[in-house]
Structure 1
C-alpha cells in the first residue's frame, strides 16, 4: 500500500515498514536417518500482524559424513507452517568430510499470526551415516506490507 503526500502515518505502519530479522542456531547434533527430522535449535516462531507479509530465509547446514556412500546424499530442507519449501541443500556423501551447505528460500504468508520455520535433515537412502552439527543456522527476514 502506498503512502500518499499529506497522509497521517500510524505507528503500526512505521513498524511494518522495517524488515525484522530472526536467527536460530543449532543447539546439538542431529544424527541423520532416512526420515526428515528437525535439527535441534533450528526452529523459529515468527509473528506477523497483517496478511501478505513476505519472508526470505537462509539455511546453513553443517554436514558431517561419518561413513561414506557412493550415491547417498545428506539433504537439508525448510518447512514453513509444516509445508516443505522447494529447494534443497544437498551434500554428497562419497567422501568422509565436513562442509557447510547453504540454501535460500522466499515466500509470502497469507495470514497474520505466528508462523513456524523449521530446518530439517535427512539421508536420502540406506547406507552411509552422517550428522548435522552445531554450526547449522537459520536466518529469516519478515517484511510486512504497510
Structure 2
C-alpha cells in the first residue's frame, strides 16, 4: 500500500520500510556428500508482517577439499522456504585447497506474511573426492517489507 499525500505515517509503517539484515554463521563443519545437506548454523528464519516483502541474500561457502578429484565440484546453494534458488556457488575439487566462494542471490518476493526460512546447503556433485564446508561459511539475508 503506498503512502498517500497528506497521510499520517505510523512508526510501524516506517519501521517495516527499513531494510533489515540477518546474518548466520556456520556452527560446525558439513562433511559433503552427494546429497544436499544443511550447513550447520547457516539457517535464518524471519517473520514478515505484510505480504510481498522482498529479499536478497549473500552466501559465503568455506570450501575445504580433503581428497582431490579431477572433475567433481563442491556446490553450495540457497533454499527459501524449502525451494532451491537459481545460482550456485561452485568450487573445483582438482586441488587440495581451502577457499571461500561467494554467491549473490538477486532475491525475490515473499508472497505471504509470516515465517520464512533461508538455508545454505552444500553437496559434492558426484561420487569421488571429499570435502567439508567449514566454520567461515556465512549467510546474510536482507528483508524489506512494504508498508
Partner SS, residue 13 of structure 1? helix
Deviation at residue 5 of structure 1 after TM alignment: 2.6
Deviation at residue 11 of structure 1 after TM alignment: 2.1
Q: Distance in 1 between matches of 2:74 and 2:113?
A: 34
Q: Distance in 2 between matches of 1:101 and 1:59?
A: 8
Q: Distance in 2 between matches of 1:83 and 1:26?
A: 21
* 1:9-54 per-position Cα deviation (integer Å, ceiling 9, x unaligned): 1222111111111000000000000000000000010110000000
Partner SS, residue 125 of structure 1? coil
**Match in the other structure for 2:53:** 53
Structure 2 residues not aligned, in runs of 5+: none
Determine whether 1:90 maps to 2:90: yes
Q: Distance in 2 between matches of 1:119 and 1:113?
A: 20
Q: Distance in 2 between matches of 1:111 and 1:51?
A: 4
Q: Distance in 2 between matches of 1:85 and 1:7?
A: 38
Q: Given the two structures, how large is their TM-score scaled by the length of structure 1?
A: 0.98
RMSD: 0.7
Determine whether 1:129 maps to 2:130: yes
* 1:75-98 per-position Cα deviation (integer Å, ceiling 9, x unaligned): 000000000000000000000000
Structure 1 residues not aligned, in runs of 5+: none
Q: Distance in 1 between matches of 2:112 and 2:104?
A: 22
**Match in the other structure for 2:145:** 144
Partner SS, residue 13 of structure 2? helix
Deviation at residue 130 of structure 1 after TM alignment: 0.2
Q: Given the two structures, how large is their TM-score scaled by the length of structure 2?
A: 0.97
Q: Distance in 2 between matches of 1:17 and 1:75?
A: 34
Q: Distance in 1 between matches of 2:77 and 2:43?
A: 12
